[in-house]
A and B are shown apart, each in its own frame.
Chain A
């Protein structure tokens, strides 16, 4: 607290380069490379559509992330609400004029990319909340107004995403927001009461779900009940992971993958494919890379001198953790199947775009860690 500091960070470009978190950068690169190999495998050992576009996207978004890193954290703070409003606008746009695929209207055609605004909302909600709670005094946090407004901010996009319908993403948006609310210091009893309410009303909520969503939840509890129908994905995914063993079946030799027993192998089930080919050791390696990445993000958060930076890094790091654990739990049969991609690894431009923006902001927090935001 007694450290001399200026209101603005005036470090030179060279200093900025030096203050980049290279460990984090290294982790991102490894994930990018690993995901490219995995994508090559899902294409059956050839450079085809998925592997090509995944690699191109990774390169573009990685460069974009570096670029974002050099944008002052203050800028993100300034345009925090605007970012949220733009994404919300896109969400509404998608709901009205979006592309429908697999019974869900959630994409906007941008010609070079089918943008899924709900993915961006996962980041936008954190940015928005980080800004909201940045200024609020601890003593005011539990005021009714400061509970109602964030809940509204959170509720609008969730409602939009649920109506697409996209249960998985809406849950992840909700979780991303709730983390920041938690960090902001909102009284524990609210969390307790609301989760209690949720549990009690769960059956009521379930009755509003689409039949296929209900089926997924029921299947989760007993996948063997209908092994060729709804339980097929979980069973095949478990078989793939389980048959991988300690060292895996070998790269490009995952039979579950290339014989097409795995559903959605380049998106939600990319970890299954990776785990089948590289086994327990490969999976642990991937987990460690993710753990280091998250640890670095949280570390950057703890070093940040602005609450905005702290909230964002803690929030984003925790959100990444949640995305990973939800995805992995899902493919390992610990959670019901809900659409949730594995950050960076999964095929999908919007998810990667959102993750890279988030990582860019984290990096910018690091570079401008001494930046104070009034």
Chain B
């Protein structure tokens, strides 16, 4: 090496090393920068990124909750969960979606519209999401699918749970039905929103809707690990959901079915109540429809058919149908008059027939009986349902006093509470008319009110409750449709009623009883009368009405004391009877259906030791005595025959529910 070169080389080495040093210092900065970044990501923010990573990889699949079931008084399942066969397709796992669909179309006989629907649905969802091709396959279809399964790659036959109402239309108006949750369901019920999964069925009407929160159950949860494309890799966790509550009703299915038969082909309602416990033994509104139709969406034509039916199958007539009570109100009018000391049972009124109607301010008030009843006493007037007599009673009583008694006995208010879309009806008063219509009350309106016409509107169940509360000696009861296993025995109830009677003597004012109506527990079994004898008198009159000659329901009586019942007929006009109508005096079947009278019958039995109260309504059925009362005859026989069976269950206070 040459000297100068060495020197220059030395300098060059120096500059290289210096520059390398500067660069190395920069490197150290970068190195620590990276270490710092690692520290901040992995140590400081570890939790945040762990959460994000879990959010990436974990998916929760919520399984549909298992709905609680309904059982009747004897533990028979009346709304149950049934295994249903479904066909699912995961488009992602299908080689050729179109071919598969065409093949399935052949096997399941799907129509073109359904096929188009499915293709549309498939295009809207992610390829790994399940497409439900068929929600409810028959066993035949299901086996056929399984038979061809090897050539249907991607199709999955699935067993799942669906709702089933084994008694079909028998329970429709009580239970209602379930159907796929709608947007309104999700908005109005937080619990549904919380537990919703695609395809969830929720109650739409009746108890299914009212008790939704008890019935719905909780979701099972499956936790899955998914990959970046959302595909399920494996199941990590499975939490089983809780089944919804099983709800036991007070209804006897056999009786319910029997009422169904009794009303077959007619529009009407039958309600039967235990007069001590308030348990509803049957409550039927006719006609009905099969709730199973709604499970998987009802066909439009069927829905139209139900909707357009003039007999209104969608209406639960027992609680939401409003009708003039007609003469069935007469026992209550009589009771009110006696309680208020307006009349004595000996009051005599002469009913002189259509030729000499009662006239008031130029209006004529006719009795139903063309030739008139002659001189009537109170008991006879109830027995033969003399309108003229009750015009007079009503005139003396006045509408406001009747209003009070009617309200005490359960008219004009909802009976069962929040379960159904119940109508309150109307029990008019002068104040009511002023507020609702803005007019003064006319005396003429009092008269027709006294025979259950005019403004007064009641539901069949209200009349049933009224009858029950008369039949139990005039004590307050609270109707219930859901079985309560912590209730009093009949003996205890009777004991309490006796106590209430004694208390009554100290507490003679009827008004204070009304005030106490607000507190349910305190009020239970309270006496609703001032004088027990008045109630007895009315019940006797009802007995005579059914069991004595000239009684309006005499022809429907049962003489065997085991089944003997007492009742009151009612024939509610649906339109004003004109003079011309009166002249024509047409038979029921000669009048257009819509203008025919509603036939009513309220009754209790057995008379010696009453236990059950019924109310029967046949819409546009003609007269109560010819149409409604004969139904009661059959009904009491049937109900009382099942009484012992029912009592046995009551004694055990529990039933074996076969689940």
Q: Do A and B bind each other?
A: yes
A residues neighboring B (CB under 8 Å) = 1, 137-139, 179, 182-185, 236, 238-246, 255-256, 259-261, 275, 279-280, 283-284, 287, 291, 294, 298, 301-302, 307, 310-311, 314, 318, 321, 325, 328-329, 332-334
What is the CA–CA distance of A1 and B50 in the complex, to the nearest angstrom? Answer: 59
When A243-B53, A245-B50, A280-B39 are in contact, do A182 and B34 touch as well, CB less than 8 Å? no
B31 touches A185 (CB 8 A): no
Q: A1-B10, A307-B12, A334-B37 are in contact. Are A261 and B228 (CB under 8 A)?
A: yes
Q: How far is the CB of B47 from chain A (nearest CB, A)?
A: 9
Name A283's closest neighbour in chain B (CB-CB). Answer: B38
Instruction: Provide 16 A-B residue pairs closer than 8 Å at the C-beta atoms, listed in order of the A residue.
Output: A137-B12, A138-B12, A185-B16, A241-B41, A242-B45, A242-B48, A243-B50, A244-B42, A259-B233, A260-B228, A283-B38, A284-B35, A298-B20, A314-B16, A318-B23, A334-B37
Judge if B15 is at the interface, Cβ distance under 8 Å: yes
Give B21-40 as 1s and 0s: 1 = Cβ < 8 Å from A's Cβ atoms: 00110010011011101110
B11 located at the interface, meaning its Cβ lies under 8 Å from any Cβ of chain A in the complex: yes
B56 at the interface (CB under 8 A from A): yes
What CA separation (Å) do A284 and B31 show in the bound complex? 11
What distance in Å separates the Cβ of B80 from its nearest Cβ neighbour in chain A? Answer: 42
B534 → A minimal CB distance (Å):
81
Additional A-B contacts beyond A243-B50, A259-B227, A334-B37 (18; CB < 8 A):
A182-B19, A184-B16, A185-B12, A185-B19, A239-B49, A239-B56, A242-B45, A242-B49, A243-B46, A244-B46, A246-B46, A259-B228, A275-B42, A283-B38, A287-B35, A294-B27, A307-B9, A310-B16
Q: Are B34 and A332 in contact (CB under 8 A)?
A: yes
> A325 with B31: in contact, given A1-B6, A280-B43, A307-B16 (CB under 8 Å)?
yes
Task: List B contacts of A325 (CB < 8 A).
Answer: 27, 30-31, 34
Within the complex, what minimum Cβ distance (angstroms) separates A277 from chain B? 12
In the complex, residue of chain B having the shortest beta-carbon distance to the beta carbon of A256: B53
Is A259 touching B225 in the complex (CB atoms < 8 A)? yes
User: Cα distance A301–B226 when bound, in Å?
Assistant: 51
Q: A183-B19, A279-B42, A329-B34 are in contact. Are A240 and B13 (CB under 8 A)?
A: no
Taken together as a complex, chains A and B put the C-alpha atoms of A183 and B18 apart, in Å, by: 9
B17 touches A280 (CB 8 A): no
A280 partner residues in chain B, CB cutoff 8 A: 38-39, 42-43
Give chain B residues whose Cβ lies under 8 Å from the Cβ of A279. 42
- Which 9 A-B pairs give the minimum distances between C-beta atoms? A242-B49, A243-B53, A280-B42, A259-B227, A260-B228, A242-B41, A243-B49, A245-B46, A185-B15
- CB contacts (< 8 Å) of A185 on chain B: these are 12, 15-16, 19
CA distance A294 to B26 in the complex (A): 14
A182 in contact with B23 (CB, 8 Å): yes
Q: Verify if B495 is at the interface (C-beta below 8 Å from A).
A: no
- For residue B518, CB closer than 8 A to chain A, the reply is no
Q: Provided the pairs A137-B12, A307-B12, A321-B27 are in contact, do residues A243 and B43 lie with their beta carbons within 8 angstroms?
A: no
A325 to B28, CA, bound (A): 11
Q: Is the interface of B mostly helix, strand, loop or mixed?
A: helix
Which residue of A has the minimal Cβ distance to B23?
A: A318
Residues on B with C-beta less than 8 A from A1 are: 6, 10
User: How far apart are B408's CB and chain A's nearest CB, in angstroms?
Assistant: 69
Q: What CA separation (Å) do A39 and B15 show in the bound complex? A: 42
Q: Which residues of chain B are within 8 angstroms of A294 by Cβ–Cβ distance?
A: 27
By beta carbon, the residue of chain B nearest A2 is B6
A residues near B8, Cβ cutoff 8 Å: 137-139
Q: What's the minimum C-beta distance from B410 to chain A, rounded to whole angstroms?
A: 64
Q: Which residue of B lies closest to A310 (CB)?
A: B16
- Is B57 an interface residue, CB under 8 A from the partner? yes
Interface residue range, chain B = 35 or more
Of A256, A321, A333, which contacts B56 at CB under 8 A?
A256
Q: Point out the residues of chain A lying under 8 angstroms from B12, CB to CB.
A: 137-138, 185, 307
Closest Cβ–Cβ distance, residue B52 to chain A (whole Å): 5
Point out the residues of chain A lying under 8 angstroms from B9, CB to CB. Answer: 307
Count the A-B residue pairs with Cβ separation under 8 angstroms: how many? 129
Cα A260 to Cα B41 in complex, Å, equals 20
- Interchain CB contact under 8 A, B15 and A138: yes
Q: How far is the CA of A185 from the CA of B8 in the complex (A)?
A: 13
A283 to nearest B CB, angstroms?
5
**Residue ID in chain B nearest A326 by CB atoms:** B30
Which chain B residue has the least Cβ–Cβ distance from A136?
B12
Task: Report the bound CA distance from A321 to B34 in whole Å.
Answer: 12
Bound form: Cα–Cα A318–B23 in Å: 8
Contacts of A239 in B (CB 8 A): 49, 52-53, 56
Q: Which residue of chain B has the shortest Cβ distance to A242 in the bound complex?
A: B49
Rounded to whole Å, the gap between the CB of A202 and the closest CB of chain B is: 21
Write out the residue numbers on chain A whose beta carbons fall within 8 Å of the beta carbon of B139.
Answer: none
CB distance from B182 to the nearest CB of A (A): 32
Task: Kindly state the separation between the CA atoms of A183 and B19 in the bound complex, as whole angstroms.
Answer: 6
Chain B residues with CB under 8 A of A245: 42-43, 46, 50
A77 to B176, CA, bound (A): 95
Q: A238–B49 contact, CB under 8 A? A: yes
B229 contacts the other chain (Cβ, under 8 Å)? yes
In the complex formed, the residue of A with least CB distance to B5 is A137
Q: Do A291 and B42 touch (CB < 8 A)?
A: no
B38: nearest chain-A partner, CB-CB:
A283
B24 — which chain A residues lie within 8 A by C-beta? 298
Complex-state Cα separation, A50 to B41, whole angstroms:
28
Selected contact of A242 from candidates B20, B50, B57, CB within 8 Å: B50
Q: How far is the CA of A185 from the CA of B12 in the complex (A)?
A: 8
CB distance from B219 to the nearest CB of A (A): 25
| A255 and B57 contact, CB distance less than 8 A | yes
Instruction: Convert B561-603 into 0s and 1s, putting 1 for each residue whose CB lies closer than 8 angstroms to a CB of A.
Output: 0000000000000000000000000000000000000000000
Docked Cα-Cα span, A1 to B11, in Å, equals: 12
Contacts of B6 in A (CB 8 A): 1
Q: Is the CB of B16 within 8 A of A183?
A: yes
Closest to B20 in A: A314
The chain A residue sitting closest to B57, CB to CB, is A255
Please determine whether B38 and A275 come into contact, CB atoms closer than 8 angstroms.
Answer: yes
B23, B27, B42: residue with the most chain A Cβ atoms closer than 10 Å: B42
**A242 and B16 form a contact (CB under 8 A):** no
B residues in contact with A283, CB < 8 Å: 38, 42
Instruction: Return the chain A residue nearest B44 by Cβ.
Output: A242
Listed residue (B33, B43, B56, B226) with the most chain A CB atoms within 10 angstroms of its CB? B56
Q: Are A332 and B20 in contact (CB under 8 A)?
A: no
**Which residues B291-306 have CB closer than 8 A to chain A?**
none
Report chain A residues within 8 Å CB of B45. Answer: 242
User: Across the two chains, which residue of chain B brings its CB closest to A259?
Assistant: B227
* B357 CB to nearest A CB, Å: 86
Q: C-beta contact mask, B142-167 vs A, less than 8 Å → 1, else 0?
A: 00000000000000000000000000
What is the bound-complex CA distance between A259 and B23, given in angstroms?
A: 40
**B234 → chain A, closest Cβ, in Å?**
11
B46 touches A328 (CB 8 A): no
Contact between A255 and B43, CB atoms less than 8 A apart: no
Residue of A nearest to B12 (CB): A138
User: A302 with B57: in contact, given A243-B52, A280-B42, A325-B30 (CB under 8 Å)?
Assistant: no
The winner among A242, A275, A307 for most chain B CB atoms within 10 A is A242
A183 touches B20 (CB 8 A): yes
In the complex, what residues of B have CB within 8 A of residue A328's CB?
34
What residues of B have a CB within 8 angstroms of the CB of A137 in the complex? Answer: 8, 12
B11 x A138 contact (CB < 8 A): yes
- Chain A residues contacting B225 (CB-CB under 8 Å) are 255, 259
Scoring A284, A311, A328 by chain B CB atoms within 10 A of each residue's CB, the highest score goes to A328
